[in-house]
Structure 1
Amino acid sequence: MPLSLPRRRAAAFALALTGCASLFASAAHAGDWPERPITLVAPFTPGGTTDIVARAIAVQLQQQLGQTVIVENKPGAGGTLGAGVVARARPDGYTLLLANVGHAAAGVLYKNLPYDFERDMTQITTVANVPNVLVVAKNLPVNNVRELLAYAKAHPNDINYGSAGIGTTQHLSAELLKKQTGIPALHVPFKGAAPMMTDLIGGRLTFALDSAASAAAQINGGGVKPLAVTSLTRTRFLPDVPTLDESGVPGYQMTTWYSLAGPKDLPPAITDRIYRAVRAAMDDPGMRKALDSMAADPGGMEPAKFQAFVHQETLRWTDLARDWDNAN
């Protein structure tokens, strides 16, 4: 039987009250957050740059938020397994992702992903920006980029490069190098940067484009030779290493960004709380020292600007990933 006008008004009023109560409850919950430990998923193996950045920012978040932050490594499929865990988590701020630029292209390279990095994730802010560095094994008979390109073209069937997985920054960097130079090179994916570096040192790989942070120890120890960095300007952390742009690959640019992301529909109040905690961390002397040790520049981009940045990066790297996918 249809409701009378007064009853319809009463029902609508009750529904509005219910909505307001839910809104106030959500706001109160966000205001109390965090009330228990936070899990920060690092989607690669321990020892690589993503893991290093995750552990550095976890220490700062603990200090800023007054709650334990647990780094949980979930490697596999170029970081998409860990990202999938976060995408499926409740949007309550207790499960976060240490993402990187590789996640922007993963939708092309990994078929049937159960999530979309833009659509199903809340992009919070950047944590660090790190240039990659082109490195070769110490026994490879090349000492600069031009010699490497000549060597690759003279040995087209013997050239390979390593990465921490399909769609990772090492993979994208190398494919961009191949696209701009025309050199042949077989991609050998690993489950993280650490095992990749082990094979490069052992001479089983020709080259790699690893992050400056991850490669620094082996560069300093003489295990690998640095030929060029991927930023348009030289990094203060490797001032004697030229850029690819000045080494005969004009216009080459690739900087690895690391960021925090959460599940879709993360409450704005929690997103802002995390962003403000990261901003405060960027001014902390301990975090600055940690970033310097990783050859990283500080992050802290505003959430709205970072969301737009991720969209542009997704368009850029998706095109490159699609070219690679079609060729393979």
Structure 2
Amino acid sequence: MRQLSSRAAATLATCAMFLMPGTAARAAEWPQQPITLVAPFTPGGTTDIVARAVAMQLQQQLGQTVIVENKPGAGGTLGAGIVARAKPDGYTLLLANVGHTAASALYKNLPYDFERDMTQITTVADVPNVLVVAKSSPVNSVSELLDYAKAHPKEIDYGSAGIGTTQHLSAELLKKQTGMQALHIPFKGAAPMMTDLIGGRLTFALDSAASAAAQINGGGVKPLAVTSLERTRFLPDVPTLDESGVSGYQMSTWYSLAGPKNMPPAVVQRIWQAVKASMDDPVMRKTLEGMAANPGGMDPAEFQKFVHEETVRWTTLAKDWDSND
């Protein structure tokens, strides 16, 4: 009787293994259907640009259609929430960025936690931000901006793609390090924010170099400084904030792939390997170079640790902020 029970148990265990969607057998077959990559901001911004470049590469590496869906709103948390609630089978992914690591500290009653409730897969790109003002602005340098802010303490404002986004984080870090007062004006994306900046309805913005590139080249905005500790090859004549007197200022916008919690490890590894391989693709390299971006490809375990460090960094700083200022 015991022998029969053992055989029955073994049979049931084997059947269960093949029925479970997270098994190695199922992962080896993945992907068997189109993959959705959620870009949680409006079309035209850096997140959207990166998402489409990544989608094209994943499509080539995985041999399956990858569809980019823009789900803007609430500083990128709306799109992240959609992915967090999705089935953890690898068919719904998020093009995340640094701003998601601060979201839990900035949004009340957020239905998910980016660090705990998402599967962190890998980095895709790392891009410096650039401090820009409208072409019509009387400000032509960081020191002039700080002097202007002191002279007009209640008239300074800055734009962002939403609370907790890279533009918001960059500006609040600048405020903290300089003591500058400035009102935060959140938008639903970088593109509408840039429209208001060019129109003179905002004092300044700290947008990613990739997103601001067209307006810088077209003369719509003036770059005052970049946020990396070293000058970027994209804007070699533009000083860093550190060079401009904001000692030690450093901020970059990293982009990554994430998915719902509890994705099969084999699927995570497959996606990571695809991203890593894409970093050597000439088309992807050209895309990243055009954005002044450093290539990604960090392994999942290392990236999970990095996300934790970034979460601690930004949530600690966020305690000093009023998210409605």
Distance in 2 between the 1:154 and 1:179 partners?
A: 18
Question: Does structure 1 conserve the Cα–Cα contact (< 8 Å) formed by 2:184 and 2:324?
Answer: no
The equivalent residue for 1:62 is 59
Match of 2:256, SS state, is strand
Could you tell me which of 166, 169, 176 is aligned with 2:166?
169
Q: Secondary structure at the match of 2:181?
A: coil
Q: Counterpart of 1:245 in 2: which secondary structure? A: coil
Aligned to 2:284: 287
Label 1:140 to 1:34 Cα distance change in 2 as closer, same or farther (>3 A): same
1:29-66 Cα distance to aligned partner (Å, 9 max, x none)? 11110011000000000000000000001000000000
> Who is 2:183 aligned against?
186
Match of 2:214 among 214, 217, 240: 217
- 2:243 aligned counterpart, secondary structure: helix
User: Residue by residue, what CA displacement relative to the aligned partner does 1:242-279 show, whole Å, maximum 9, x if unpaired?
Assistant: 10011000000001000000111110110000000001
Distance, in Å, in 2 between the alignment partners of 1:290 and 1:298 is 10
Deviation at 1:295, TM superposition (A): 1.9
Q: Which residue of 2 aligns with 1:3?
A: none
Cα distance in 1 for partners of 2:173, 2:285 equals: 30
Point out the more displaced range, 64-73 or 26-35. Answer: 26-35
Q: How many residues are paired up?
A: 322
> Are 1:43 and 1:83, in contact at CA under 8 Å, matched by a contact in 2?
yes
- Residue 39 (structure 1) aligns with: 36
Cα deviations by residue, 1:219-239 (Å, 9 ceiling, x for unpaired): 011100000000111111111
Code of the residue aligned with 2:16 in structure 1: it is S
Q: CA 1:158–1:94 in structure 2 vs 1: closer, same or farther (change >3 Å)?
A: same
Q: Identify the residue that residue 83 of structure 1 maps to in structure 2.
A: 80
Unaligned runs of 5+ in 1: 1-5
Call closer, same or farther: CA 1:76–1:15 in 2, change over 3 Å: farther
Match in the other structure for 1:250: 247
Could you tell me which residue of structure 1 aligns to residue 148 of structure 2?
Answer: 151
C-alpha distance in 2 between matches for 1:13 and 1:169: 57
SS of residue in 2 equivalent to 1:98: strand
| 1:1-328 correspondence to structure 2 within 5 Å | 14-15=8-9, 17-25=11-19, 26-325=23-322
Task: Supply the AA of the counterpart residue of 1:314.
Answer: T
Residue identity over aligned pairs, in percent, reads 79
Runs of 4 or more consecutive aligned structure 1 residues displaced over 4 Å after TM superposition: 9-17
Query: Is the Cα contact below 8 Å between 1:134 and 1:228 reproduced in 2?
Result: yes
TM superposition shift of 1:139:
1.3
* Aligned counterparts of 1:145 and 1:18: Cα–Cα separation in 2: 68
TM-superposed CA distance for 1:142, in Å, is 1.4
Partner SS, residue 51 of structure 1 = helix
Judging changes above 3 Å, is the alpha-carbon distance between structure 1 residues 326 and 170 closer, same or farther for their aligned structure 2 residues?
closer
**Amino acid corresponding to residue 248 of structure 1 in structure 2:** G
Matched residue of 2:322: which SS? helix
Give the SS at the match of 1:323.
coil
- Return the offset for 1:294: 1.7
Counterpart AA for 1:23: M
C-alpha distance in 2, partners of 1:326/1:194?
Answer: 21
Shift of 1:327: 8.4
Contact 1:135 1:207 in 2 (8 A): yes
Instruction: Report the Cα distance in structure 2 between the residues aligned to 1:105 and 1:318, rounded to whole angstroms.
Output: 5
Q: Give the distance between the partners of 2:152 and 2:117, measured in 1 at CA.
A: 44
Is the 1:108–1:325 Cα contact (8 Å) retained in structure 2? Answer: no
How far apart, CA to CA, are the structure 1 residues paired with 2:6 and 2:131? Answer: 64
Deviations 1:53-80 (A, max 9, x none): 0000100000000000000000000000
Write the deviation string for residues 128-185 of structure 1: whole angstroms up to 9, x where unpaired: 0000000011111111101110011100011000000000000000000000000110
Q: What TM-score results when the alignment is normalised by the length of structure 1?
A: 0.95
